[in-house]
Amino acid sequence: MQKYRAVDLALLGVASIISGLIFTATWFVYEVSLAIGGIYLSRLISYGLWFIGAPLTASLIRKPLSGFLGEFLGALVETLIPTIGGFTNLIYGFAQGLASEAAYAIFKYKKYGALQAALAGIFAAPPCVALDAILFREIYPYPVMLILLIAAATSGAIYGLVSYYAIKSIKGE
């Protein structure tokens, strides 16, 4: 396991704040897309933004656990800002963070590329949809649940790629 240097911690702080700010703004996006297009559109457009903490941080820092920490600390920031949702965000952040981290773990932490970023977004979808069902009783018939899951996962993949390519263009590799 590589050690986190001082720069990495500063970057972690930066990524947590950016993620936290994005998470906060996403509530607005969610409510608007829910009103316009119902449950499918809202998942497709906004859920990926809630998963963005992990791929963003992992693409930036490129060390083990950076994905999980990015998502979890971003959720902590979101809780403290504060936003609607309070401590529930922490629970979501924890679960989503772990799931996204798996996307990097299965590659033995050797790769932090576009594929991993997209997978991180996709992996965060199941725990999120599951928590929605448990916490907020957002339980629908199976076909509907499946579509919701796919919408959320697609959204996650898109924003995972967005964060990867944004960082790639800055770091210029």
Partner 1 sequence: MRAGYGRGRCVLWNTDLKVDTGEAVLITGGVGSGKTTLLLAITGVLNNLLEGFVDGSVEINGFNPIEPSGFSKIPLEVGFVLQDPDKQIVMPTPIDELYFTLENMGYSYSDAFKLAMDGLKKTGLVSKAYQHVETLSQGEKRKLTFIASVIHNPRVLMLDEPTASMDPYGIATTREFIRESRREGLSIIIVEHKKDYFIDLVDRVFVMSEGRLYETEINGDFGKNALYEKFQRILDSKPRDEHKFGDVVLKMENVSIGYNETLVSGIDMVVREGMTIGVVGRNGCGKTTLLKTIAGFIKPIDGVINRFAKTFYVPQQPDYIFLSNSVSGELDLLRRKTGFKLEDSIIRIESLKKDFAKSPYKLSHGQRRLLSLVIALAYKPKIILLDEPTTGLDDESVNQLIESIVTLKNKGFSFIIATHDPRISPVIDEYIFIDDGKVRSVSHTDVFRWFIDVSMG
Partner 2 sequence: MYQWVRDWRLRPTTLFIYALSITILAFTHTGVSLYLIALLNAILGFTFSVEKPYLLKLFSIFILLTVWSVFFSSLISANYGEIVLTIGSLGIRSGVINAVINVTARLAAIMGSTLLFLSLTDPYIVIKCLENDLKLPKTIVFPLAYGLRILPLMKRDLDEINLCRIQRGYGRYPLSPQSLSSILKPLIAISLERAVWTGISIELRGFRYRKPWRFQFKLKFLDYTLYSLLVIQALLPFIIH
Residues 67-96 that bind partner 2 (CB under 8 A): 69, 73, 76-77, 79-80, 82-88, 90-91
Q: List the one residue out of 153, 168, 164 whose CA is nearest residue 44.
A: 153
Give, as ranges, the residues between 9 and 48 that touch partner 1 (CB under 8 A): 10
Size of the site for partner 1 (CB under 8 A): 7
Shortest distance in whole angstroms from residue 69 CB to partner 2: 8
User: What do you get for the CA distance between the two ends of the chain, in Å?
Assistant: 23
Interface with partner 2, residue 146, by CB under 8 A = no
In angstroms, the Cα distances linking 71 to 24, 66, 111, 119, 149 are: 13, 9, 19, 14, 19
* Residue selected from 6, 108, 136, 137 as contacting partner 1 according to rule CB under 8 A: 6
Choose the one of partner 1, partner 2, none that binds residue 80, judging by a C-beta under 5 to 8 angstroms depending on kind: partner 2
- Closer to partner 2 by CB, 100 or 155: give it: 155
Phi and psi based region of residue 38 (left: phi greater than 0; alpha: psi -120 to 50; beta: remaining): left
Segment interacting with partner 1, rule: CB under 8 A, options 76-84, 126-134, 147-155, 165-173: 165-173
DSSP-based three-state secondary structure for 133: helix
**Which stretch in 99-107, 110-118, 119-127, 138-146 sits in contact with partner 2 by CB under 8 A?**
138-146
Work out whether the CA dihedral 78, 139, 121, 33 comes out positive or negative: negative
- Among candidate residues 82, 81, 28, 80, the one with its CA nearest the CA of residue 50: 28
Binding site for partner 1 (CB under 8 A): 5-7, 10, 169-170, 172
